[in-house]
Amino acid sequence: ASLDLPAQALESASHKADLLLTQTRNLSSRARGYNQRVISESDALAEEVVGVSRALKRDLQAARVALQSDDRWEEVVNQLERAQGVLHGNGPAGDLRRYAKTRQPYVLSLLLGPSSNVVALRKDQSQQMKVDYHRFRNRSAYTMFAFAAVLQWGLRRTQALSESRDGVSMAPVLLVGVQLFVCWMLFYYVASALRESVLKLNGSHIRPWWIHHHYWAAGTSCLLLSLPVDSPTFRKAINGFLWWPMLQSVVILTQNRYQRRRMYTRIALGKNSTMDVVAGDGVGAHGQLVFLYPLLFLLQGLQVYLGGVMIKHSYWAMLRTEGYLNLENRDDDLWGNRGFFLAGCLMIFMAW
């Protein structure tokens, strides 16, 4: 009997192993079938979406032209517009254009590769992405404010100390802090551009200029990181510059409150909400816009002002002929001044 027990265990284990092998093989066949169905169905859907959207565009254009000379076309235009509404998201499946293979935003094909696919077919997933995006912006805004405020305070303290010429100024530590902050900003802008591109592919109506704005901001961060941090110009100019991320974080927080409220209203109204309801809910959140718009103008004003100050203090370095083709005496700090001249131009350009 003591020999029987292991034999029994072996037999049952062998039986179980056979079963597991069969189960895994079946699973693989099922997965393959699933894959093939997904491929053929999504290809068919994509094709039909492209066909319908082309036909709609053409017919709608023609009908609108006809309407100008003949009122009876109004019903046709209405009907076609209703169809377009369904295509753009009023139907049960939401925005159908996601099924058509859209061109990948440049930043995604650059960083993730041209055949990467970030379109989520599941509505819950794509909605979660938007929630994540708002959370990311919220968290980042707090980080941005705290980081910039501490540096601002520290650098002011350093200046006061260096005027009275005593005490430990901590200037090198603060300047390294500034560079870490600039690295963080670079990360923030690149991540924003990437996440927004993903949202766009998933049907968000995010504006292209907003994504482009983040490319420019990332470029400006690279420029700031490349400047000689120990140069006198850098130390003078960075103090003013730090006001900008501080105000920007306040704007992001306010804007986020508005966008989030709007999003939750729309989610609550269900994805079958017509475009009219969307327009209506925008009016409902009007109270928030009253805060948002002046803040946005203030931010742009500050940006132009800071850019102007940078240019005013440093344009002389651009006019000098030395230092372009041969290296100059470092004491003139032509390098730092020219860097901030460029940064000032970029600031003003981005405010446009």
Ligand X SMILES: CC(C)(COP(=O)(O)OP(=O)(O)OC[C@H]1O[C@@H](n2cnc3c(N)ncnc32)[C@H](O)[C@@H]1OP(=O)(O)O)[C@@H](O)C(=O)NCCC(=O)NCCS
- Residues lying near ligand X in the complex (CB under 6 A) are found at 89, 94-95, 126, 129-130, 199, 202-206, 210, 259, 263, 266, 271
Cα torsion 145, 172, 240, 226 to 10°: value is -90
Nearer to a second copy, 36 or 264 (CB): 36
Tell me the three-class secondary structure of 149-170, residue by residue: HHHHHHHHHHHHHHHHCCCCCC
146 binds a second copy (CB under 8 A): no
Instruction: Give every CB contact of residue 346 below 8 A, 6+ residues apart in sequence.
Output: 216, 219, 220, 223, 307
Distances (CA, A) of 152 to 156, 225, 296: 6, 17, 22
Nearer to a second copy, 168 or 290 (CB): 168
CB 262 to a second copy: min, Å: 19
Find which of ligand X, a second copy, none residue 205 binds, CB within 5 to 8 Å per kind.
ligand X
Residues 51-70 that bind a second copy (CB under 8 A): 52, 55-56, 59, 62-63, 66, 70
Find which of a second copy, ligand X, none residue 168 binds, CB within 5 to 8 Å per kind.
a second copy
CB 232 to a second copy: min, Å: 9
Nearer to ligand X, 22 or 274 (CB): 274
Half-sphere exposure (CA, 13 Å, Cβ side) for 54?
7
120 binds a second copy (CB under 8 A): yes
Are the C-beta atoms of 148 and 181 separated by less than 8 Å?
A: yes
The Cα–Cα gap between 229 and 238 comes to 10
The Cα–Cα gap between 244 and 210 comes to 18
CB 220 to ligand X: min, Å: 16
Give just the sign of the alpha carbon dihedral 156, 162, 167, 169: positive
123 binds a second copy (CB under 8 A): yes
Of the candidate residues 50, 183, 250, 289, the single one contacting a second copy (CB under 8 A): 183
SS3 77: helix
Instruction: Output the six-digit token pair for 175.
Output: 């300047």
Of the candidate residues 86, 269, 277, 278, the single one contacting a second copy (CB under 8 A): 86
Polymer length in residues for the chain? 352
φ and ψ at residue 329, rounded to 5 degrees: -50, 130
Find which of a second copy, ligand X, none residue 332 binds, CB within 5 to 8 Å per kind.
none
Nearer to ligand X, 202 or 233 (CB): 202
74 binds a second copy (CB under 8 A): no
Per CB under 8 A, the segment of 132-140, 147-155, 288-296, 297-305 that binds a second copy is 132-140
